[in-house]
Amino acid sequence: MIAGIIGSGAMGVGIAQVIATAGNKVLLLDVNRDTLEAAGRNIRASLDKLVAKKLLSQQKADDVFANVTFTQDYSSFSDCTFVLEAIVEDLQSKQQLFREINLFAPDTCIFASNTSSLSIASIASACKNPERFIGIHFFNPATVMQLVEVIPAVQTRPGLVEEMFDIIKGWGKIPVAAKDTPGFIVNRVARPFYGEAIRIMEEGIADCETIDWAMTTIGGFKMGPFALMDFIGHDVNYRVTESVFNSFFYDPRYKPSFTQKRLFEAGFYGRKSGRGFYDYTDGATQPKPSKDEQLGNRVVERIVAMLINEAADAIAMNITSEPDLETAMTKGVNYPKGLLAWADEWGIEKVISVIDGLYEEYHEDRYRVSALLRRMNRENRTFLS
């Protein structure tokens, strides 16, 4: 395989390193020379760290780096068998990019987008041969995260999903298949982890640090929602929420919050800017959580119930399979267990009770129980056992 990767930001660099490590030749393209030079330094530094940790030999690291060619010239893609873009999350920019690549890449080349929430069909429509287009969504950092979502467009030819599964496994990653719907699997199902946490905080039920404490200590999540949003960056996380909300025709389940929008507008992106929900400046002291177990259990119950409901709805709408959904949430965002397994463990009746209780309190369509959960409860069924 000769792979062309367009965009030398953190995601493009990570994907290039993954593919090069698997023994493939990679052309990493960026129109900005300074960014491209920085990409080379970043890949070298990443490989050096692996050598220092004895996870890679020096010879292997040198071979991986030699597999990557840095270019600003689209014509260098003339021999590529696979081209993936990892540029700014903007539909028009991505469409224009593929119009240009069409002029240089061979007619047999597979085109792919690393978009996290945009329509694969819309991007594919800009291609001369849209049947060769597919969504291939890595998670950040691509060198570490195992999951890759594979999303065919309506134009994608039969068999391409299976071909990409084999290729992705060869890269050492775990592929899952999703329909071309907003947010695919992970960015759709995970929305309540952020949105419901913010809602609880906005209502004054619990503050950021207490919610994060509850979700990690009681819920078993590796990071709490506020710490995770600050880590991802509100310039990324807010935009994904807004994109999913808009793409779902303003379904209130995905409604963004003014609290996060104001952080985004102020440039308080989180760790990368020094301030988000938390203050990351030198010498800043972090507030302590209220370690009230009763409150913490209520927080976990509310957020996890909403996550399970979203997962059930994704299954109800045939967005993905039950095994792929469980894999996506445990490998893509490191949840402590699959959400469908969590539903079985709790009992579906409990999940319904929690969400119905929220609906009785708020009378908002945000808190509507998935029809699949109600049906399964009536039939005394479980997801996995």
* Residues labelled as active-site residues: 116, 137, 149, 187
Q: By CB neighbour count within 10 A (0-12 exposed, 13-18 middle, 19+ buried), where does 27 fall? A: buried
Helix extents (H) in 158-207: 160-170, 186-189, 191-202
Q: Which residues contact 336 (CB under 8 A, 6 or more apart)?
A: 219, 220, 221, 222
Q: Residue 37 carries which side chain, given as an amino acid letter?
A: E
Cβ–Cβ < 8 Å for 91, 61: no
Q: Give the number of other CB atoms < 10 A from CB of residue 37.
A: 13
Q: Which residues contact 163 (CB under 8 A, 6 or more apart)?
A: 110
- Nearest-angstrom CA–CA distance, 139 and 53: 23
Residue 192 φ/ψ, nearest 5 degrees: -65, -25
Name residue, tokens 């045939």.
318
Residue 383 φ/ψ, nearest 5 degrees: -80, -50
- Nearest-angstrom CA–CA distance, 29 and 16: 10
